[in-house]
Structure 1
Amino acid sequence: MLYTENRQKKLEITEEFIDKIERVCDFALREEGVTGEYQISLLFVDNEEIRKINNEARKIDKVTDVLSFPMLEYEEGKVFKDIYLGYDFDEIYKDGDELVLGDMVLSLEKALEQSKEYGHSYEREVNYLVLHSILHLLGYDHMVEEDKIKMRQREEEILNKLEIRR
């Protein structure tokens, strides 16, 4: 289940908007081998709030588009399906029947700015950032070039399957 909270007032969030994000989450998680119930929290913020969170969490005092806080641990270069496919999770990783995957913080203000900068829709940018964050929750990263290529390829594969185009 996706739990959302809105802490910004600059952009409207509709039920349809949330439904589309949930579709991206469900599809991406299934594509990556998450078969059971899951729990992710998604916090919508503005640029100032994400800057504060980025500074507190990562000691980087600047605005970013999305932050991901995974609950599961991953070995270097490994992702969810490499480690946890078929794994029976301990209760510490669950909330009832839901596997707790982590938290995402998304600046809708930054998503709007980037959609204009990259010349595609706001909806596409939000869905891309949600997918990007989910992949981080599942162990993907882009700190080294090899991992970055792997992550970008996976993003494009999933976006194409969802028919979310630039």
Structure 2
Amino acid sequence: MIFIDNRQTKVTLDKETEDILTKIIDYCLKVEKVYIDYEVSVIFIDNAQIREINREYRKIDKETDVLSFPMLEYPSKKVYKDVYLNYKFDDSFFDEGRLVFGDIAISLEKAKAQSIEYGHSFLREICYLTIHSVLHLLGYDHIEEDDKIIMRKREEEILENFNINRNL
């Protein structure tokens, strides 16, 4: 189950775009072999709201584009596809039988500005940010260069599956 909550009024987000994002989240989880019921929450906010959250949780007093709040504790730092097939998560990670992966906060205001800065569509930008964040919920990271290469490759593969490229 995917919960989407638009808490901002600065950037218009239509139902069609929300539907695409829902399909992308579902696809991300399925391609990573998540075959059980799951829960992901997405909130859309503005720059002021994401700055406040960034300050509170990361102690960084500036706006950012997306924040991920994973709920799961993985058996190792490096998580790849088979973890969901081979690992038994504690019951505390479930809500009404759904595995709770976590929360995503996206600043639509920042995404809009970045789409202009990078010269591609707003749709491409928020799809990318959504995929990026879902991969964080799945245990991917980009601190180490090797991990960054793996994560970027996976992001691009998912975007390509939806025919979303930098020219869009």
Is the structural similarity TM-score above 0.5?
Answer: yes
Counterparts of residues 16-165 of structure 1 (less than 5 Å): 16-74=16-74, 75-76=76-77, 78-165=78-165
1:84 is paired with a residue of what secondary structure? helix
Provide the rounded CA distance (Å) in 2 between the counterparts of 1:62 and 1:144.
23
1:60 is paired with a residue of what secondary structure? coil
1:8 maps to which residue? 8
2:81 is paired with a residue of what secondary structure? helix
Provide the rounded CA distance (Å) in 2 between the counterparts of 1:73 and 1:24.
23
Provide the rounded CA distance (Å) in 2 between the counterparts of 1:12 and 1:147.
34
* 8 A contact 2:33–2:82 mirrored in 1: no
Provide the rounded CA distance (Å) in 2 between the counterparts of 1:50 and 1:85.
34
1:84 Cα deviation from its structure 2 partner: 2.7
* 8 A contact 1:50–1:106 mirrored in 2: yes
Count of residue correspondences: 165
* 8 A contact 1:64–1:107 mirrored in 2: yes
Provide the rounded CA distance (Å) in 2 between the counterparts of 1:102 and 1:85.
19
Segments of 5+ residues of structure 2 without an aligned counterpart are none
* 8 A contact 1:37–1:98 mirrored in 2: yes
1:88 Cα deviation from its structure 2 partner: 3.9
Q: Deviations over 1:18-57 (max 9, x none)?
A: 1010010011110111112110110110011101100100
What TM-score do you get using the length of structure 2 for normalisation? 0.93
Provide the rounded CA distance (Å) in 1 between the counterparts of 2:80 and 2:99.
12
1:160 Cα deviation from its structure 2 partner: 1.0
Q: Report runs of 4+ in structure 1 exceeding 3 Å deviation.
A: 86-90
Match for 2:71: what amino acid?
Answer: M
Match for 1:32: what amino acid?
Answer: E
Provide the rounded CA distance (Å) in 2 between the counterparts of 1:115 and 1:13.
14
Provide the rounded CA distance (Å) in 1 between the counterparts of 2:124 and 2:11.
15
Identity of aligned residues (%): 55
What TM-score do you get using the length of structure 1 for normalisation? 0.94
Q: Deviations over 1:123-158 (max 9, x none)?
A: 010000000000000000111111111110111111
Q: What CA RMSD, in Å, does the superposition of the two structures yield over aligned residues?
A: 1.3
